[in-house]
Amino acid sequence: MSARWRYILTEAFVGLRRNLMMTVAVVLSVTVSLTLLGASLLLSEQVDLATDEWVDKVEVTIFLCDGRTCPAITPEQEQALRRELEAEPIVEEVFYESKQEAYERFTELFRNQPSLIETVDPDILPASFRVKLVDPDQFMVIAAQFAAFPGVEEIIDQQEVLEQFLRFTSIVRNAALVVAAIQLVAAGVLIANTIRVAAFARREQTSVMKLVGANNWYIRLPFVLEGVLAGVLGALLSWGLLYGSVPAITDRLAEDIELMPFISSPEVLAVGPLLIGAGAGIAAFSSIVALRRFLDV
């Protein structure tokens, strides 16, 4: 390493030690903001993963009358309905689910909520035809054709439920991004103030360097590097927090919710370089702005 770069690195580390409390504040601020940013990115990855999985499994559910709210469907009507559904070119597969099968699926889905299961009687859940379409967007064709079919109580498109979930997660993700952006701006301001204080404390040293012919960037680089090191350290801490918490949470959720795929360690590892780049970038930008605006070096 050349003497010039040795000097720049030494001055950067000296500056970090000299303003230790400010450095700690900067690192913590960057850690919080980048943790929120990383969490929002991982949430987006989770939503995309779940959406890709669910879109392939979206079905139309045709609930059959069981005599409680409409005349019970007869075996002949049930067979006729199946034939009509299977004859539709937009229908890929047709599955029949009996009352008992519907109850077993309900108890499996809510096995961690025994109080809810106790309130449901096996006879309450209706039998149904679950229809998988070639194109899930063609739900209205099925609804229009079979809503008035004898023995049909109700037709539900699971895509509506999926879209509601996606709208909710989009709101949460966008809110996290807004909070992360605000925190990043706050971290940038704090970094700029820290660099300004460090430069002011060493104003005599920088004046001497200017007198002996040092150019502006050579004088500024130790301060910029000081900010970048703090930003990168905060990014590494946020990455560590996400890596230590997200896989543990998603593994636990995967045990309780078997129908949804979850992100794991590889996705958290992949977001790390983005966090480091963001931490270094905001720190470098804030440092340069602080030096250009407040110092004549």
Residue pLDDT, tens place only, 85-114: 888 888 888 889 888 888 888 787 777 677
Domain count, the chain: 2
Q: Among 77-81, 160-164, 177-181, 211-215, name the one with the lowest average pLDDT.
A: 211-215
Sheet holding 128-133, edge to edge: 91-97, 128-133, 59-64, 152-157
Q: Pick the more confident residue, 90 or 162.
A: 90
- Torsion angle defined by CA atoms of residues 159, 160, 164 and 167, in that order, rounded to the nearest 10 degrees: 70
Is residue 255 pLDDT above 60, yes or no? yes
- The CATH number that applies at residue 141 is 3.30.70.3040
Write out the two tokens for 88.
């539709």
- Stated pTM of the model: 0.64
Q: Pick the more confident residue, 85 or 222.
A: 85
Residues 105, 67 share a domain: yes
Residues 171, 81 share a domain: no
| Domain boundary residue, one of 158, 185, 215 | 158
| Domain boundary residue, one of 158, 186, 204 | 158
Q: Pick the more confident residue, 145 or 164.
A: 145
Residues 217, 199 share a domain: yes
Residues 179, 151 share a domain: no
Residues 262, 224 share a domain: yes
Q: Pick the more confident residue, 214 or 57.
A: 57
The pLDDT score that the predictor gives to residue 243 is 92
Q: Pick the more confident residue, 12 or 28.
A: 28
Residue pLDDT, tens place only, 176-218: 778 777 877 877 777 777 777 666 666 555 555 555 555 565 5
Residues 50, 62 share a domain: no
User: Which residue range(s) make up the domain with 144?
Assistant: 58-158
Is residue 38 pLDDT above 80, yes or no? yes
Residues 219, 168 share a domain: yes
The pLDDT score that the predictor gives to residue 198 is 65
Residues 278, 197 share a domain: yes
Residues 149, 63 share a domain: yes
By the 8 A CB rule, do 60 and 155 touch? yes
Write out the two tokens for 238.
């946020």
Residues 228, 109 share a domain: no
What is the b/e burial string over 69-98, where b = at least 16 CB atoms within 10 angstroms of the residue's CB? eeeebeeebbeebeeebeebeebeebeebe
Mean pLDDT of 35-39: 86
The pLDDT score that the predictor gives to residue 236 is 94
The pLDDT score that the predictor gives to residue 15 is 58
Residues 79, 144 share a domain: yes
| Domain boundary residue, one of 158, 191, 209 | 158
CA distance linking residue 204 with residue 207, whole number of Å:
5
Residues 83, 48 share a domain: no
The pLDDT score that the predictor gives to residue 297 is 45
The pLDDT mean for the chain works out to 77
